[in-house]
Amino acid sequence: AVTQGAGDRLTESGLRVGTPAYMSPEQATGDLRLDARSDVYSLAAVLYEMLAGEPPHTGPTAQAIIAKLLTEPPMRLSVVRGDVPAGIDAALARALAKPPAERFASAAGFAEALAGPPARAALRHGRSRNRRALTASVAVATVLVAGWGWLHSRAAHRPLVILMDSPHPARIYDEETIRASGTNADVISDILADLPIVRQKESGGPAWHRYDEVVRFDPDLIVMHYSTFRGSDADDPRPGLKTFLRYFADRPTRFLIYTRSSEAAVRHAVDSLMADVDAQHPGLLARITVFGTPDHGGGPHWRDPVTAGELKLAVKRILRLE
């Protein structure tokens, strides 16, 4: 069984979130360059627990599990359970290899190895009682692995939307969100929840400097409060915004900048601020949408259903989800 500590979320930033017992080594270290081989490792860890009764690595805390994950090889399944066919044992060992290059390239390849002729032959010649239980477990696991590959291929086409906002109360649009210690990004995430996208939140502000990390996420759209990158230079009130957008000048990432101020005024400010960058990278300004949060009564806020609908429509148009 997985210990309580193994279920902890290690960070809120998205770099290392999940159940450590089933993480790949690269996911546990916060590597952003994850691919299908990381999924193969996680699926192998689930299958290992199904057959062995516990995950490949266990420990009293999430940190202890990660330490083992990064430094110790998992015990071979054949040592834990002697009736496991050599083909399945070998497939699991390969799928649980620490270097991604040594694993199966895809969940489909892993499923094929689990259901291949050597594994089937070994299952046919096992003892009757153990054979039935083992065959059932492997069959379920094979379906799980194959299904995961299908779902992952579909999820891979979902646009990634990063929601950036300042946690400062002066930037938050309604009292209910302030009382809940939330941000505009929390409410916007709920507004966009039923769209076929992947959402990720980032807390911005003057001290924020995760430019490289966000670039490596390669987002399709970044939704951000105009004040998120407020600077102190009176001659250039948004130097942080300019720096941030430069990172994406040669990428297709689009931006939606929202504000309670006049949409026309902020559009003019953004165009003026980014004129030199757009001269170097033509077309950048065309990828920036300014959304003036409307006031339908009671001040501009996201909990108004009309405002929420207008924002959702803007996101759908930008991502061409209609």
Name the average pLDDT for the chain. Answer: 76
Is-above-0.85 flag for pTM? Answer: no
> What confidence tens digit (pLDDT) does each residue in 269-295 have?
888 888 888 888 888 889 999 998 888
- How far is the CA of 266 from the CAs of 19, 162, 249, 262, 279, in angstroms? 43, 21, 20, 6, 19
pLDDT of 17 over the 50 cut: no
- pLDDT score of 122: 47
Instruction: Find the range with the poorest average confidence among 122-126, 228-232, 318-322.
Output: 122-126
Structural domains of the chain, ranges and CATH numbers in brackets:
4-155 (1.10.510.10), 160-319 (3.40.50.2300)
- Rounded to an integer, the average pLDDT of 162-172 is 73
pLDDT of 32 over the 80 cut: no
List of residues 6+ apart from 10 with CB closer than 8 A: 16, 17, 20, 62, 66
Residue 64's CB: how many other CB atoms inside 10 A?
Answer: 16
> What confidence tens digit (pLDDT) does each residue in 183-235 have?
788 888 888 988 988 888 877 666 666 777 788 788 899 998 887 765 545 45
- pLDDT score of 42: 87
